[in-house]
Amino acid sequence: MIKTVIILSGGVDSTTLLYELIRTKYMPYEVVSLSFNYGSKHNSYELAQAKETCKRLVIEHRIIDVKSVFDNFNSALLNHLDSDDIPEGYYADENMKKTVVPFRNGILLSIAVGYAESVGAKQIFYGAHAGDHAIYPDCRPKFIKHISKAALFGTYNQVKIAAPYSRLSKIEIIKRGKGLGVEYANTWTCYNPTKDNQPCGKCGSCVERTEAFFKNQLKDPTYNDVGWQKAVENYFQVI
């Protein structure tokens, strides 16, 4: 068994990747899931679902609290008193850049590399996907290639970082997830949960997720019927 760390946000991409690692018979991995509390507005929603998924799959789950690291960072995604509101619209729109947390994935990956080295894991899986490329520089293949090299040269164990979904869209990821039996009710994506703890259906993140379920002819199980109808209507308004 190869000890492996997966960064599990609790969203669609990393959850599908986790299912793929443990359900694919030819992959002899002993998986540890690593999640981060970094102080985003939707962090507690994501972490709760990540926890449920690990329980369901009987996988070790570690949550690392790095909230204070991001206290002085500027992003609409962070739960600061003076942070901007989460923008609504299409996920690749220019105004979505407000939700970028500067170098977040570079920082979290670096911590994951140190953790992997500490527990004798030689491989890290990271669920970045093609839809992230438009606004998140630290999700692009070029960045992943270079940080992978840094991890390899910066550890005794020669820790490798793999991002197998980096050229897949969320539509393609959910298509894979359908075949793997991923329980998507135990995932969270929305950046701006409503007061009654439902996904807003309007932030860029919700729009991308809605598109992916809709194009796979699936209903997103995190919505009730009325909420899903509204999310689909909103999707057709913003594309």
The DSSP string of 159-195 is -EEE-TTTT--HHHHHHHHHHHT--GGG----SS--T
40-79 per-residue burial string, b: 16 or more CB within 10 A, e: under 16: bbbbebbbebbbbbbeebebebeeeeeeeebeebebbbbe
Judged by CB under 5 A, the chain residues 200 through 219 that form the site for Zn ion are 200, 203, 206
Q: By C-beta, is 25 or 195 nearer to Zn ion?
A: 195
* Contacts with Zn ion, 165-204, as mask; x by CB under 5 A: -------------------------x-x------xx--x-
Contact between 76 and Zn ion by CB under 5 A: the answer reads no
Query: Residue 45 CA to chain centroid, in angstroms?
Result: 12
CB 201 within 8 A of CB 191: no
Q: By C-beta, is 5 or 203 nearer to Zn ion?
A: 203
Q: By C-beta, is 54 or 212 nearer to Zn ion?
A: 212
Q: By C-beta, is 143 or 228 nearer to Zn ion?
A: 228
Total number of residues that touch Zn ion (CB under 5 A): 6
Measure the CA dihedral 187/137/210/170, to 10°: -80
Query: Rounded to the nearest whole angstrom, what is the least distance from the CB of residue 189 to Zn ion in the complex?
Result: 7
Query: Rounded to the nearest whole angstrom, what is the least distance from the CB of residue 191 to Zn ion in the complex?
Result: 5
Residues that bind Zn ion (CB under 5 A): 190, 192, 199-200, 203, 206
